[in-house]
Structure 1
């Protein structure tokens, strides 16, 4: 049987460990991911990245840039529902939303996503309607 002294010491140790893990705002120092450029080839097809390796609980910043050669609608439904979306920045606007369905670009433009993955797995992303042109990739979350 554990003595009161050992029980108190164990409780204090657990309390201090859980406090240390909870300190700070994990969303405030995001890791900048390689830019995702949509339409990297002269034809307007192609992606600059086809895979992103991520970890749960880490904050990330992803810049998505459309070349303007075609309209692009970036979709990643399973991924978008498995992240904490902190905000999206477009130009001078900062958008705060609970979730994201797609990022659509009619012309050249840029959007920055700030997020924290909360679920591990492999999550496909694609440009809607242009998958057959190879405009697909994966978010791999460990």
Structure 2
């Protein structure tokens, strides 16, 4: 009986032994590392978004891939109290953390980020739900006051 239990435990351990060589620095074509979706090979830094009175929020639309881990930096110059809202986008991603002045926040949900003065926030997240979304300055109607985001 003991031999049967030992054999079952050893057979169950085989898949884990195969993963032991799977480091976090694996090439994308080799698959994800032990950290899964959070592996270094699955990370990408997006172009910075800017909040400034009368200036475009982004230089171009963003195209993301579902299942990929992203970092997005948002910088406000303090020229005006401005926010970015996008409840639909925030519901289509899993937010790992939002970092503001070195303080890491791990929220369950976000509707918007508002900057009362100059500063920056960095959001790290995994894109989940494919679709077309926007992050925009609330109350604005201009195309330059928003960034179109597509998750494929």
Would the TM-score normalized by the shorter structure come out above 0.5?
yes
Query: Normalised by the size of structure 1, how large is the TM-score?
Result: 0.76
Mark the CA change 1:28 to 1:95 in structure 2 (over 3 Å): closer, same or farther: farther
Tell me, in whole angstroms, the C-alpha distance in 2 between the residues paired with 1:31 and 1:22: 14
> How much has 1:136 moved relative to structure 2?
1.5
CA contact (8 A) 2:58 2:146 kept: no
Tell me, in whole angstroms, the C-alpha distance in 1 between the residues paired with 2:94 and 2:107: 10
Moved more, 77-86 or 49-58: 49-58
Tell me, in whole angstroms, the C-alpha distance in 2 between the residues paired with 1:133 and 1:107: 23
1:118 to 2:128 alignment:
yes
Please list every run of 5 or more consecutive structure 2 residues that lacks an aligned counterpart in the other structure: 1-14, 23-30
Query: Normalised by the size of structure 2, how large is the TM-score?
Result: 0.72
1:38 to 2:48 alignment:
no
Q: How many residues align?
A: 123
1:27 to 2:29 alignment:
no
Q: Which has the higher contact order (CA 8 A, sep 6+)?
A: 1
Tell me, in whole angstroms, the C-alpha distance in 2 between the residues paired with 1:63 and 1:45: 16
